[in-house]
Structure 1
Amino acid sequence: MDELFKAIILGIIQGITEFLPISSTAHLVITPWIFGWSGVVNSLSFDIAVHMGTLISLLYCFWKDWINIFFRERKMLLFIIIGTIPAGIAGVAFHDLIESALRHPLIIVVTLILVGFLMLYAEKVGKKLIRSITLSDAVVIGTAQAIALIPGVSRSGITITAGLFKGLDRAYAAKFSFLLSTPAIAGAAMLDFYKSIKIGHSHDYSLFIIGVISAAITGIIAIKFLLSFLQKYPLNLFIYYRWFLAVVIFLLYFFRN
């Protein structure tokens, strides 16, 4: 199959699943595994591209918020910095483990199911009233973002869930989740770029551009959809999808082995 077509499909998947609480890593690991794809879509060029694409999505949707944070809401900036630290430490300490052993399909099945139950419980017990962040909230949600490095967890899923446990309004928790993910995704893009320079990687620019565009456009759509959806509805739809996906992956794993 043409590599550009694969890049478009995976870029679209990345853009959608990075922001919906259904795990982008699960989809990006499972899709090539299901269809037997390999080659350029597993390259650093593509990793950088999809990270850049989702970063563009975040900056497009929240640029006004970032200007306000930098010039007026300095406390929020501090909370975002504090919330970013756990994921940064975990990413550096456990990078090799996350990129190898933890990307097994059965591990993804387990995390899809367990986090789904956690999301369901948070929906039942969370007050969903508060529209402001405290230092405690930043630490808890930031720790949740570190846990999201495990494939199948979902960055948005676990951080929104943590926000619900802290009593945050559902849509506000999602917005803070997206703001918190911005430096993490930027850091991931810079790390991939550094690795590409270190190993002298030659970039496929056509693949890079396609990955950036497809991830950015679908990311913007996903962000706007989720923020609107969570103003009216609970997370249940995504929980049921997670469980359905877990069953599909489980069955495929045993039928293919």
Structure 2
Amino acid sequence: MSFLEVIVLALIQGLTEFLPISSSAHLLLPSVLLGWQDQGLAFDLVLNIGTLAAVVIYFQKDLRNMSFAWFNSIKHKQTTQDSKLAWWIIWATIPAALIGFFGKDYIELYLRSGYVVATTTVFFGLLLWWADAKAVQIKTEYQTGLKGAIFLGCAQALALIPGTSRSGITITAGLMLGLTRNAAARFSFLMSVPIISMASGYDLLKFILSDQYVDWGSLMLGAGVSFISAILCIHVFLILLNKVGMLPFVIYRLILGAALFYVLS
């Protein structure tokens, strides 16, 4: 991989992983428009690790409080807002974990196409617009509830379909539940930690069992760029969220979907 490819792909991963605009749709563009080859398992792995590190560090205080509260809820039977939130994140992780484990091969074989990505980019963009326009937006993430967490988990499972956008569909589901934009985004980001961790662990196992050539320089550069761009993206997104709403992202998704249909036709 060239220096330019490493920088561009890492920036795409870092900037789009946590925005509701579909990272898979954007990662498709270099191959469609520029003819770039697949970057390989090792590079995918370090990009995911970079974005995982970004969300863990950004929400380190929340994650630490939730972890302590969760252990106390087991050991001392103490229930707090943080322990409830931790349990809800666990429950919300189960649907995507199960479907990802049992359906990954099917998804890779039948759904990873340009037209699927273009269609889901447009459809779930419109669904995000509808949810944002109709949302009550009165609840915090601490008012999600078990049923709400499972609903959000099922929404996250839909993100296994390329082009859906994990953050986009989970924020959409959060808005449907009456969460504020900020609360929906925060729950979405916290949900990303276990699911990205599991995906990275799976890719790491495949990498260990493979005999793939490793360009350590490119991997470290890619991980660093994806980490920095992701942590900046999370910070700016949470600041702008209540000011601009979801409409700019919806419009962007519609333009991106139309562009994908055009270049694929």
TM range (shorter): over 0.9
Match of 1:181 in 2: 192
The equivalent of 2:63 in structure 1 is 66
State the Cα distance separating 1:98 from its structure 2 match.
Answer: 2.1
- 2: CA distance, partners of 1:101 / 1:31: 21
Secondary structure in structure 1 of the residue aligned to 2:259? helix
- Number of the residue aligned with 1:203: 214
> Partner residue of 2:18?
19
Deviation at 1:90, TM superposition (A): 1.1
Secondary structure in 1 matching 2:243: coil
Verify: 1:43 aligned to 2:40, yes or no. Answer: yes
How far apart in 2 are the matches of 1:193 and 1:163? 31
Equivalent residue number for residue 29 of structure 1: 28
User: Is 112-121 or 99-108 further displaced after alignment?
Assistant: 99-108
1:230 to 236, 241, 244: 241
Query: Which residue of structure 1 lines up, in the alignment, with residue 79 of structure 2?
Result: none
Q: 1:101-250 to 2 correspondence within 5 Å?
A: 101-131=110-140, 132=142, 133-250=144-261
Contact preservation (8 Å) 1:29, 1:103? no
How far is the alpha carbon of 1:21 from its aligned partner?
A: 0.4
Report percent identity of matched pairs: 39
Q: In structure 1, what residue type is equivalent to 2:51?
A: T
* TM-superposed deviation, 1:228: 0.9
Structure 2 stretches lacking a partner, 5+ long: 70-81
Could you list the structure 1 runs, at least 4 aligned residues long, displaced by more than 3 angstroms after superposition: none
Pairing 1:90–2:89 present: no
1:76 to 42, 64, 85: 85
* Separation of aligned partners in 2, 1:222 and 1:106: 27
Contact 1:30 1:105 in 2 (8 A): no
Provide the TM-score with structure 2 as the length reference.
0.92
Give the Cα–Cα distance (whole angstroms) in 2 for the partners of residues 8 and 186 of structure 1. Answer: 23
Q: Which runs of 5+ in 1 are unaligned?
A: none
- How far apart in 1 are the matches of 2:118 and 2:44? 23
- Secondary structure class of the residue paired with 1:22: coil
Deviation at 1:246, TM superposition (A): 0.7
CA RMSD, 1 decimal: 1.2
